[in-house]
Amino acid sequence: MIDSLSLGIGSLVVLVLLIAIRIPIAYAMIFVGGVGIAIVNGSDLLFNQLKTLAYGQFSIYDLSVVPMFILMGSLASRAGLSAALFRWANAWLGWLRGGTAMAAIAGCAGFGAVCGSSLATASTMGRVALPELRRYRYSGALATGSLAAGGVLGILIPPSVVLIIYAIIVEANVVTMFAAAMLPGLLAVVLFLLTIAVYVAIWPDAAPRHGGVDRQEFRAATIGVLPVLLIFGIVLGGIYAGFYNPTPAAAVGVALVWAYGALSRELSFGDLIDALKETASTTGMIYLILLGAELMKIYMSRIGLPQATAEWIIATGMSPMLVMALLLLGLIFLGCLMDSLSMILLVIPFFWPVLVDLNGGLYMTAEGSGFGMSTEDLKIWFGILALVVVELGLITPPVGMNVFVISALAKDTPMIETFKGVIPFFAAEIIRVLLLLSFPILVLWVPRLLSG
């Protein structure tokens, strides 16, 4: 009889091989999970699960927020919000050396707060900011590197679709996760701005100084961004104030972004149809991956792989913090190979039970639980750490997906230059991971403040 650990590892190897030969991750997970359940418990159990599993998964009310936020982001990318945010940021920061690159970072942060997707943020802001960076003769490495790095902010700064999916998987409160992401997101923005300041101090020719904008353009940019800030304030402010939960908030956001695009004549009826089609396609893909992830979760729990893994880790004598560090390193590696949502759905259902066992039950120290915090706090802390290192994978050489997105837009800049440009931002992200890993209060402070 094959033990649980060997059987589970073998299944994971098969899953990775299927993904490596370009089988869509949803189909790979459904196949491995379904076949695994049939082998362990028989085909009757598998068919009984399939009768109700899809409906049970997709009818969860909290999941209805996903297509709404996807539609909001899709409309935002077509409605000119990115241009308004960049003009405003450039009006305030453009006079500094490296200020236009800083404005691109600030614009990415603002657009990420409306869009919630890293790849969409990088692509949309790249189209807006690259012409300005070229006009002011920024080096190819700094221009493309700052945009590729700025794009990663879309995955963490609320509202984030990936953060919502994580909350659903571990049964965390979505609003609490949004609150927890605020300070780490702002920390990323500050570190990226400091990175640009240090970069241009060392290589001043990378960002020639220019005079900024005149008073009239400054006033127009500031007025132009007010509707965008109002949308952001109504959506997230309403959630935190308790006026509505995330699903109605997303619906309000969709209506406001559509109204903004229609009034500014940036959003046509054709754009609306395209946004709806894109939303349907993306949502269908996410739901199918969720189904595969649930089958994998059932299979892994039936063979007891998470518990066997936790017992094996404890037997090795590794501390919970070392296990966390190794897990984060693994997530960085996976982030080079697959998109953030697929990775979260693949990894979290397997590793979360292991961390719970390490935090309590199976691993108790003289001081108390393994990580020194409650399971609820661990959910929040690990979720933010996981998303931060998933971000890191998007700019990790040699396969960072954001780098490829920006390189496709900046055809005159060799890809090797873009990778050179993201290295300083990669270092800044490593600093952020170490800070969040060493000081969990950076993640937990805002949720505790809002909870009273």
Collapsed DSSP state (helix, strand, coil) of residue 106: helix
For the record, the structure tokens of 296 come out as 């994998």
Report the distance separating Cα 171 and Cα 168, nearest Å: 5
CA–CA separation, 233 and 88 (whole Å): 17
Tens-place pLDDT, residues 202-234:
998 888 877 667 788 888 888 888 888 888 888
CA gyration radius, the chain: 22
Bond from prior residue into 398 cis (ω within 30 degrees of 0) = yes
**pLDDT tens per residue across span 149-194:** 988 887 788 778 888 888 888 888 888 998 899 999 999 999 999 9
Residue type at 139?
Answer: S
What are the tens digits of pLDDT across the range 64-116?
A: 888 888 888 888 878 888 888 888 888 888 788 888 899 999 988 888 877 76
How many Å apart are CA 84 and CA 414, to the nearest integer? 29
Q: Return d(Cα 403, Cα 273) in angstroms, integer.
A: 29
For the chain, the average pLDDT equals 83
**Cα distances (Å, whole numbers) of residue 302 to 3, 33, 43, 56, 291:** 12, 11, 14, 19, 17
Q: What is the pLDDT of residues 307-326, one digit of tens each?
A: 777 777 777 777 888 888 88
d(CA 216, CA 229): 20
> What pTM did the predictor assign?
0.85
